[in-house]
Structure 1
Amino acid sequence: MKRNEVSNCLLCNSTLNQQITWKALLTNAFPKTFCIDCEQKFEPYENTSDQILSLYQYNDAMKDFLHRYKFMHDIILAKVFREQIHKHLSKTRATIVPIPLHPAKLKERTFAQVDELLKAAHIPYEHFLEKTTTETQVGKTRQERLATSQFFKLVKECKNKEILLIDDIYTTGATIQHAKSLLLESGAKSVKAFTLIRG
């Protein structure tokens, strides 16, 4: 990995004054991709359950990040939280399973945002699920979302596997719940979840 990979903050474009330490070189730590000022705008999420872990709260800074990353197709922003994601996922024994986009949505967006976050963090993953509907959950209440019929299908055997579902944002929990129930019904040993953001 190149140590001078990013010379300016990916969020505000200010110059990054990185001091390359021996520790960083020896541990192959990720080079910084955003400045301290930007870093301080993100609020860590206080987790109360080990079933679903989230890194950050959904605040204005995160709203801006998500908009640029997902909807403005600024794919390089996948590198912003790679160190934090790597730290939390690199030692898990569970099989990492990203929440997928519907194929039509993937074609429209041109990249799968969860896959790219994992790639940037050097986290291996497997696809066990395929999304079967393009129906949006935006504007629905939690009850309405949970009452929606199953919108995933299994594409790979998951029997007796410990699975960690990965998504970019957790809002009502309907997406995670649908995926979790399908995997457990299909024989998964356990299913937990990890998200970058908690809405």
Structure 2
Amino acid sequence: MTLETWLVYLAASIGLSLTPGPNGLLALTHGALYGPGRTLATIGGGALGFMGVIGLSMFGIASVLSLAGELLLVMKVVGGLYLVWLGVQVWRSPAPGGGFGALEGGASGWAMARQGLLSALANPKAILFFAAFLPQFIDPAASLWWQFVIMAVTFALVECLTELLIAGFAGRLSGWLARSGRGFNRACGGVFMLIGAWLPLSRSS
């Protein structure tokens, strides 16, 4: 991959990361509930999930999914159910009125990382999206593995920085959340549930 191609890919990755999605919303929610520091586990899990999605897209799983409509529907239903379940958990989370320390035991680092990972993997349409997005930057004459490493690490770092900024922004809202934390949790949880309900009904293409 040439430097010019990588710079274009970097710019595209930044634009993609700034597009609202489940992982950005999860970083916002965890940043508000647990603080930016603990949200690093969520962000790391999500980055690992996106690297997996990029790998699946680059190495041919996307073409299988595009041909097997029934398999894609099953993955949509499973992903949608997970997002609905996650929305219920966020809805029921305690309001962060006592500060971040009051929620210290609310979720383990592993549980937060797992939620970030599964949120990145829950939407199979992401695989199809990356399957259309990545070929624009692939050099067929170069090593596919090496290009995968460059693209996956680049996107993961961009996504981590974007979500860290989102979590930090949420952390600055502690005064407002002390007053309106329950409403914030229910709004975020409701969005997760809406995304989960919409996912199986969305078109495959």
The interval holding the TM-score normalised by the smaller chain is under 0.3
Q: TM-score, structure 2 length as denominator? A: 0.23
More strand by share: 1
Q: TM-score, structure 1 length as denominator? A: 0.23
Tell me which of the two structures has the higher relative contact order, counting C-alpha pairs closer than 8 angstroms and 6 or more residues apart.
2
More helix by share: 2
